[in-house]
Structure 1
């Protein structure tokens, strides 16, 4: 399995990092503020099958400047295991960061990803309309990207797939009240489907209430397999191939 979105540095029990690294084919760990960016890069250097995606979460753009975007570019250029930019995007669920700043730095990071020839990892919460408007404005995306921990509607899914994006689901797809997400899931093309933990958040239903970790990805895989009526091993291979194609990590022989 490949966990396409994990915050490894946030795991309280560091033994969980070793367990996950030893159990999964690959993990994309996310750095989404100044401190976490450095931690993600260091983790990618430490483990052969860990790769980094670095960027600024919409909740973390209040205290950054254009200089930080330049530093982000330099970090990505200097580290070959940085395989994506993000997570970046819009989050209107809580009024933590002014919308204007979110939009500005979202657009800056979209353009940076294209400049560097890297895919972009998109966070969108309670902001479907504006997210889509901005993504369409900055298209095309020759290096693609992923709508991580997808929580939007069918229209957002279909239109971002048209733009060349992948759709990733986390453990909340397993929750009893997540019928809206499952309605989207059944319409996602298999060649655009990814899975993730978003650990330490959103542990799947069988582990709900516990700190999530990459080894719990199996429960999300099994749930989606049963829901879609696809053999678990086949689905695992499909999602691995999609992740390797998007993040170009199949060039690393150790993965």
Structure 2
């Protein structure tokens, strides 16, 4: 059985309220040893319960704290200060997801960029890695990261879906790349070629659940157990075993997030 870490999951979403224990049991049965929960701002004074879940089950969960580009225009200053304070909590392993999303543009682009910069600065001040969301905004994202500088603790482009040229840009900035179920999709040939070429010590695997379930679960609710299918696709691309992919990507996740 592989030893896997799902490096990006949203198990504090309402999608799992009724069956979280069963979801966790299935993850363990599939070889998932740790899950990084992404704690995001939801409403004034509310960052969800990712940190509470991680505190209750530290052997299973770790948590980040962040402000998503979709929501950043709504966040009051007091919640920004609360996020920056939470980032310094020793139980928090990263800042984000933050970044730029020019597909939906749910927040104005200039507000997204300001939020992204402030989040990078918060990660640097806290000594934590930054977790980056980017959609249809790679040029702007790379520019901001180059101008601000990736925090010394590092960072990851979560749910990377680009080609090798985009991968190389982020790798050259010193970032890790994390792939989700998209790598199993029929149309993702450019992504698969990028994964084939990414240095093995710079790749993570994730679900981004409840989104982006891999084949054969595409279109259904995703969950951490399904990261094994993403790892299997990576193993095929690397010409190795799922166990080896699990060992390598889990070591990378532990190094990035300082997981015990």
Quick check: 27-36 or 137-146, which moved more? 27-36
- The structure whose residues are more often helix, as a share, is 1
Matches within 5 A, 1:64-103: 64-78=75-89, 80-103=90-113
Q: Alpha-carbon deviations, 1:78-110, whole Å to 9, x = none?
A: 4x2210000000000013110011000000000
TM-fit CA distance, 1:140: 4.4
Segments of structure 1 that go 5 or more residues without pairing to the other structure are 251-255
Q: Alpha-carbon deviations, 1:4-62, whole Å to 9, x = none?
A: 00000123332344325644211000122245733111111111220111101100101
Measure, in 2, the Cα distance between the counterparts of 1:16 and 1:212.
Answer: 13
Aligned to 1:15: 21
Measure, in 2, the Cα distance between the counterparts of 1:58 and 1:152.
Answer: 19
Measure, in 2, the Cα distance between the counterparts of 1:213 and 1:140.
Answer: 30
SS of alignment partner, residue 73 of structure 2: coil
1:133 aligned to 2:143? yes
Measure, in 1, the Cα distance between the counterparts of 2:26 and 2:9.
Answer: 11
Aligned to 1:6: 9
TM-fit CA distance, 1:145: 0.5
Aligned to 1:46: 56
Contact 1:122 1:146 in 2 (8 A): yes
Measure, in 1, the Cα distance between the counterparts of 2:62 and 2:256.
Answer: 13
1:28 pairs, out of 15, 20, 36, with: 36
Instruction: Identify if the C-alpha distance between structure 1 residues 157 and 66 changes in structure 2 by more than 3 Å, giving closer, same or farther.
Output: farther
Measure, in 2, the Cα distance between the counterparts of 1:241 and 1:147.
Answer: 17
SS of alignment partner, residue 220 of structure 1: helix
Measure, in 1, the Cα distance between the counterparts of 2:144 and 2:239.
Answer: 35
1:189 aligned to 2:199? yes
Quick check: 129-138 or 177-186, which moved more? 177-186
Contact 1:167 1:192 in 2 (8 A): yes
The number of residue pairs the alignment matches comes to: 249
Measure, in 2, the Cα distance between the counterparts of 1:46 and 1:18.
Answer: 13
Segments of structure 2 that go 5 or more residues without pairing to the other structure are none
Q: What is the aligned-residue RMSD (CA, Å)?
A: 1.6
Measure, in 1, the Cα distance between the counterparts of 2:150 and 2:229.
Answer: 34
Matches within 5 A, 1:1-255: 1-10=4-13, 11-12=15-16, 13-20=19-26, 22-23=28-29, 24-34=32-42, 37-48=47-58, 49-78=60-89, 80-250=90-260
Measure, in 1, the Cα distance between the counterparts of 2:212 and 2:199.
Answer: 24
Quick check: 144-153 or 130-139, which moved more? 144-153
Q: Alpha-carbon deviations, 1:151-180, whole Å to 9, x = none?
A: 233233112212211000000110111112
Quick check: 172-181 or 58-67, which moved more? 58-67
SS of alignment partner, residue 18 of structure 1: helix
Where has structure 1 moved over 6 Å in runs of 4 or more?
none
